């Protein structure tokens, strides 16, 4: 006997491709559908609505189709309360737990829709029942943060997801043309739009997070980023031991990874400069202490300390030293990155695959995200990992950051 459930799609479902995507999912997974209602928005700023009956041969096949439809924002028309089960032990989730997307999500509990706090992909949803003093709430938890007895949401019932919409008349890089990677885009005009987006974010009291790799320093973009920090356009930095080391090395020795930043030559013993740099910062007790002692007098990390801009330096297995500020515990580093990501309204990912993907995994899809790298694989891997809200630019980071800083500062 054929199994049937009805879903609805609402919003800019035609312009964003959601309607076509939903039909494709049903057919690709062996089901079929009937359109029961379809109201088309006939102006650019009008939304559309579709109610679709989804059919499958059995419950398992239908559930698989509904799961995929749910991921793109198709929700059941007959919502019930979400099913919750207590976690049997620390770091152990119930079987069939709901794994989150990075889109805004709501959970129906006790007849009310609760917004899920701190949404990010690949997490569990925990519900805290309310009482006379506090209302019920729902929030994400990573698996290693689950505690015994946490009420964890299972299955897709009682959950609705709302992906970002892309209306046809949206302007700027974060509108209808957002997403995708291209080196053919008019980068100067796109950088102008990114600069405008930074101004808009700051005008709305939002937070700008910069995720930076060592190539930014090697390519000569460090001074421009330092300018943006000093002038208040960057609220947080997420990077690794290498980025901070080469930034400080440049101030101490005029080199980055041993290369003279002015002559592009490798001076004698230049290859030892980075380890000398780490040694001196360790001797001082840390980056802030080295700034206070006058050892560090310029650069990105200097401006972070002087302007109270928090930074997270997440370590890796290959780090030299590392600097005392580098977080070498992986879980601790993830949590620090996660805290930054949850506060970010706009993110600039500048020439670092490792840290871009790490931060991208923690971001909600509502965060404006720009990923810039000379290697197309960095940008495409970020998008493939699920950060579909990101726009990608394949270009030289040493050109991008100074141009961006010029446009941001000229637009004051």
> What confidence tens digit (pLDDT) does each residue in 128-166 have?
998 888 999 999 999 999 999 999 999 888 998 888 765
pLDDT at 167 over 50: yes
CATH number for the segment(s) 1-77: 3.30.70.2690
What pLDDT sits at residue 184? 47
Confidence band, pLDDT 50/70/90 cuts, at residue 302? very high
Write down the architecture of domain 79-164 according to CATH: Beta Barrel (2.40)
What is the residue extent of each domain of the chain? Answer: 1-77, 79-164, 181-410
CB 370 within 8 A of CB 189: no
| Stretch 243-259: mean pLDDT | 89
Confidence band, pLDDT 50/70/90 cuts, at residue 171? low
CB 102 within 8 A of CB 75: no
Q: Per mean pLDDT, which of 14-18, 109-113, 226-230, 354-358 is the most reliable? A: 226-230
pLDDT, tens digit, 9 for 90 and up, residues 356-368: 999 999 999 889 9
Q: State how beta strands 48-56 and 32-39 pair.
A: antiparallel
Residue 183 three-state SS:
coil
CB 87 within 8 A of CB 93: yes
pLDDT at 384 over 80: no
Three-state DSSP string of 114-165: EEEECCCCCCEEEEECCCCCCCCEEEEECHHHCCCCCEEEECCCCEEECCCC
CB 277 within 8 A of CB 248: yes
| Stretch 101-110: mean pLDDT | 93
Q: Which has more confidence, 42 or 57?
A: 57
If you average pLDDT over every residue of the chain, what do you get?
89
Indicate the burial class of 99 (C-beta count within 10 angstroms; 0-12, 13-18, 19 or more). middle
| Stretch 252-261: mean pLDDT | 79
pLDDT, tens digit, 9 for 90 and up, residues 174-200: 553 345 555 545 578 889 999 999 999
Q: How many other CB atoms are found less than 10 A from the CB of residue 310?
A: 13
| Stretch 6-35: mean pLDDT | 91
| Stretch 332-342: mean pLDDT | 96
What pLDDT sits at residue 386? 60
Confidence band, pLDDT 50/70/90 cuts, at residue 65? very high
What pLDDT sits at residue 168? 53
Residue 68 CB partners (closer than 8 Å, separation 6+): 25, 29
Domain 181-410 CATH class label:
alpha beta
| Stretch 344-371: mean pLDDT | 93
What pLDDT sits at residue 385? 67
Residue 48 CB partners (closer than 8 Å, separation 6+): 9, 10, 11, 12, 13, 14, 19, 38, 39, 40, 41
pLDDT at 125 over 80: yes
């Amino acid at each position: 006997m054929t199994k049937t459930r009805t879903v609805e799609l609402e919003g800019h479902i035609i312009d964003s491709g959601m309607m076509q995507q939903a039909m494709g999912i049903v057919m690709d997974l062996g089901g079929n559908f009937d359109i029961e209602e379809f109201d088309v928005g006939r102006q650019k700023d009008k939304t559309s609505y579709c109610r679709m009956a989804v059919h499958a041969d059995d419950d398992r096949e239908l559930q698989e189709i509904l799961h995929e439809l749910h991921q793109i924002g198709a929700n059941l028309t007959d919502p019930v309360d979400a099913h919750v089960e207590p976690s049997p032990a620390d770091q152990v989730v119930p079987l069939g737990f709901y794994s989150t997307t990075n889109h805004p999500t709501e959970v129906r509990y006790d007849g009310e829709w609760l917004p899920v706090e701190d949404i990010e992909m690949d997490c569990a949803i925990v519900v805290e029942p309310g009482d006379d003093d506090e209302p019920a709430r729902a929030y994400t938890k990573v698996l290693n943060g689950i505690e015994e007895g946490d009420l964890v949401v299972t299955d897709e019932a009682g959950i609705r997801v709302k992906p970002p919409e892309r209306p046809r008349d949206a302007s700027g890089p974060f509108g209808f043309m957002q997403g995708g990677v291209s080196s053919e885009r008019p980068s100067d005009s796109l950088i102008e739009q990114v600069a405008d987006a930074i101004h808009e974010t700051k005008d709305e009291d939002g937070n700008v997070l910069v995720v930076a790799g060592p190539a930014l320093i090697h390519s000569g973009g460090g001074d421009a980023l330092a300018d943006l920090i000093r002038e208040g356009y960057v609220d947080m930095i997420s990077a690794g031991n290498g980025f901070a080391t080469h930034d400080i090395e440049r101030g101490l020795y005029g080199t980055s990874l041993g290369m003279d930043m002015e002559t592009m030559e490798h001076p004698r013993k230049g290859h030892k400069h980075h380890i000398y740099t780490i040694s001196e910062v360790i001797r001082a007790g840390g980056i802030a202490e080295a700034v206070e002692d006058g050892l560090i007098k310029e650069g990105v990390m200097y401006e972070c300390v002087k302007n109270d801009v928090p930074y997270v330096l997440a370590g890796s297995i290959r780090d030299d030293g590392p600097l005392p500020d580098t977080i070498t515990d992986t879980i601790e580093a993830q949590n620090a990155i996660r805290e930054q990501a949850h506060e970010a309204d706009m993110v600039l990912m500048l020439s670092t695959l490792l840290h871009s993907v790490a931060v991208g995994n923690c971001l909600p899809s509502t965060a404006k995200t720009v990923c810039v790298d000379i290697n197309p694989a960095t940008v495409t891997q970020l998008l493939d990992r699920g950060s579909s809200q990101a726009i990608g630019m394949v270009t030289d980071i040493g050109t991008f950051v100074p141009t961006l800083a010029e446009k941001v500062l000229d637009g004051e």
